[in-house]
Structure 1
Amino acid sequence: MTRYRSSADAIEPVARAIPTIPKDQVLGRLAWIKTAPIGELKDEWRRLYGKEPPPFSRSYITSRLAYRVQELAYGGLKPETRARLEALGEQLDGGNVVLRRIRADSRPLPGTRLIREYDGVQHVVTVRPDDFEYEGRPYRSLSAIARHITGTRWNGWVFFGLRQPGGGA
Structure 2
Amino acid sequence: MDQTVLARLATLKAMSVRDLKAEWEKLFGSAAPNNSRTFLEMRIAYRIQELTYGGPDRETRRMLDLLADEVEGVARRKNQIADPRNPVIGTKLIREWDGVEQTVIVLTDGFDWQGRKFKSLSAVARAITGTRWNGYRFFGLRERKREEA
Q: TM-score, normalised by structure 2?
A: 0.46
Q: Which has the larger radius of gyration?
A: 1
